[in-house]
Structure 1
Amino acid sequence: PMVYAVGQANSHIPSQAPRLIDLHWGEQAAPRVTLVGKGVCFDTGGLNMKSAAGMKLMKKDMGGAAQVLGCQMIMQLRVPIQLRVLIPAVENSISGNAMRPLDILSSRKGLTVEVGNTDAEGRLVLGDALTEAASEKPGVIIDFATLTGAARVALGTELPALFCNRPEVMSAVLEAGLATDDPLWNLPLHPPYRSLLDSSIADLSNISSGSYGGAITAALFLQEFIEPDIPWVHIDMMAWNLRSLPGRPEGGEAMGMRAIAKFIQDFCSQ
């Protein structure tokens, strides 16, 4: 339902209507791994419209979806795996049918969400996709998203933020990043900040009531849609190089994908 709500401004255009793409590959008896990628194909901000400068690069807001489609890299490793890829694909646009500020949405999980800002749409579509991902009880869920500017303020544009609900899994991902020259930096899922997402009329709001820790509160929002017994990795990244680096030209960049491919190779070979 939240995937549709975010993309409903274009629901009358068949080629741009919201979709939840679901891909499967691998051996039924192998370890289950599910990848989820934020697929906002363009983000105007919705009715809480972005500025011209803020909207300029928003063709890259599908960077998470592009990352998980890089699962070809994992398939080529020939490890025993039952791989699932989920992509909530939408365009956050403006029309008379667009999602409105302070709308109350019902999620796939059954939680109600107050729309504090239509430009915090990525976490809405990911919430539904993560709920579907958790329904099969995979061995690990990994999501990629160009989710927050706050992560860029904290770590810059070249270092993705890593959140994880299992310390041992977080350590393994960080080690894989070092081994592949694809570094990430861990940030905490700080439980006291969860109250910043409280709403008086819904189960939670899609934005924090505070001004700080935006990457953390966004991750805590996503955690509401993850079952506690399922290991979960969340990567909040830029997915774009603002400057050319050796082997990494200016433009779209698969930040964290090499690290995750190495982690999955190790995870499925245990």
Structure 2
Amino acid sequence: MDPLTQDTKIAVQNVTKIFQSKQGKKQGHEVVALKDLSLEVKDGEFLVIVGASGCGKTTLLNLVAGFDKSSDGQILLDGNPVTGITPECGMIFQQYALFPWKTVQENVEFGMKMKRMPRKDRKARADRFIDIVGLKGFERSYPHHLSGGMKQRVSIARSLANDPKVMLLDEPFAALDAMTRQVLQEQLVRIYEKHRKTIIFITHSIDEALLLSSRIMVMTARPGRIAQEIINDLPYPRNAEVQLSSRYMELKRMIWDSVQAEVMKSMEVEAD
């Protein structure tokens, strides 16, 4: 890998991750999820990772977040090795991960409360980000009173309120209906344009990748490595209309061909 540049936020250096299978006939069998994978994420970049199911996308995100450790290689955040969970990374999951007994306000304030931020300050900050994600008026609502899209907006507000250096999103909109998904995608783009957080976003949707990203990485079939890197030069602001452009269709075709090739490889491996 090239020497780290000054604006490198995350460096994944020759990372391999091996799991031991604990089920069925392959008990004790080694599963190589990632093999000698390297990539860099620049400060303020919106990197989207796509690839076939089982290619190691979530495994990679968990390693960056510090939820797990690599079998070989290392991950650097601002030049420092990631050795465990760090507040510098905010993780947003597909299944919301909200506290059901806490209100919207209390959920968004939670991380700040753990940091012992004064009550007045954390309330003001929570109010700001609740407003940014369009949930003003729902501060006292509990998660079971909210739709799926609203719950995910609470998750985004909570992450932003904690002011992480990096936001990690693992298919956060996958369970939502198409219209809600479109609205939240455009909302996330606006938030990114305003705050310029470093973001790593995982998705199976090529359309979602093109709407959100500044750069796209296509991963190989397992064991996961980088198959292709694509710079997304679609103009901002991004919205549904950009999907009608010829450049959008050109990029989509390029990514589809790459992903399809890796899906076929993964099917061949499963057949063996």
Same fold (TM > 0.5): no
TM-score, structure 2 as length reference = 0.30
Please identify which structure carries the higher helix content: 2
